[in-house]
Amino acid sequence: MKTKTIGELLATERQKHALSILQVANATKIQPEFLTALEENKFELLPAATFVKGFIKSLAEFYRQDPQPLLATLRRDFKESAAGKLVPREFIRPALKRRQLWTPLTLTFLFLAVIFITLISYVGVQWYSFQKPPSLDVTQPAENQVVGEKVKVTGKTLPDAIVVINAQPVSLYPDGRFETELSLPKEGTHILTIEATDRRGKKNVIQRIIRVKL
């Protein structure tokens, strides 16, 4: 019966919990590329042996396993070099080398996958950029701020956007900043409605509640 390597044991445990590499990385704070190298027994891509053992202990704790059997498997299959790196023991080296070979078919599929993902990502970014409203940041006044009769409103949006505050158009600086002063002669609670509309007609609206005290 073929015994499993440390990488196969870790991969099996992760798959048993139905977790992705990224999910495990976020939970354990271990870099995704290190997790992948561990599962694929590519210890030449990993840091010093001390760190690798720490990774395995963290993963065992995350999977609620005893780390000792995993560390024992690691010692069985790998030894520490003079430089402090883990290298395969002679009896397992041929099997590991066979698994690391890249076939032409594998490289072709990988190349096509990269092209496909790149195209999908590009289309997704373009679609999101087209759909999202213009950026709008109102720096003044703050929510529930107490103001006097004259209220200064400042903020920033896209340089080519049209800004309207309480139905009054506001001019923009070349960098998209805007600054205006409104007159609110009546005490009490008021709502400021700041709208920014871009060339595509996409609109972003921010409302601020303020209290006027004369």
The kind and range of the H/E element at 71 are helix 67-77
Residue 123 included in any domain: no
pLDDT of the residue at 33: 94
pLDDT of the residue at 92: 44
Residue 94's domain is classified under what CATH number? 1.10.260.40
pLDDT of the residue at 185: 84
The kind and range of the H/E element at 207 are strand 203-212
Residue 125 included in any domain: no
From 11-15, 37-41, 80-84, 182-186, the region with the lowest mean pLDDT = 80-84
Structure tokens at 64: 């609620």
Per-residue pLDDT at 194 exceeds 70: yes
pLDDT of the residue at 91: 42
Same domain, 50 and 96: yes
Residue 164 included in any domain: yes
76 band by pLDDT with thresholds 50, 70 and 90: confident
Q: What is the pLDDT of residues 102-158, one digit of tens each?
A: 667 778 888 899 999 999 988 888 777 677 888 999 999 999 999 988 999 999 999
Domain range for 74? 6-106
Same domain, 77 and 160: no
Same domain, 88 and 170: no
pLDDT of the residue at 31: 94
The kind and range of the H/E element at 121 are helix 104-131
Q: What is the pLDDT of residues 84-101, one digit of tens each?
A: 787 777 644 444 445 555
Same domain, 158 and 90: no
Residue 40 included in any domain: yes
Of 88, 106, 124, which one is at a domain's C-terminal end? 106
Residue 42 included in any domain: yes
Q: What is the pLDDT of residues 23-59, one digit of tens each?
A: 999 999 999 999 999 999 888 888 988 898 999 999 9
Same domain, 102 and 145: no
Residue 15 included in any domain: yes
Residue 188's domain is classified under what CATH number? 2.60.40.10
What's the Cα-to-Cα distance from 47 to each of 30, 164, 211, rounded to whole Å?
12, 57, 59
Count the domains in the chain. Answer: 2
Q: Are 205 and 195 in contact (CB under 8 A)?
A: yes
Q: Are strands 203-212 and 145-147 parallel, antiparallel or unpaired?
A: parallel
Same domain, 90 and 171: no
What percentage of the chain exceeds 70 in pLDDT? 92
Structure tokens at 104: 């032409």
CB atoms within 10 A of CB 183: 7
Same domain, 24 and 102: yes
Structure tokens at 178: 């805007």
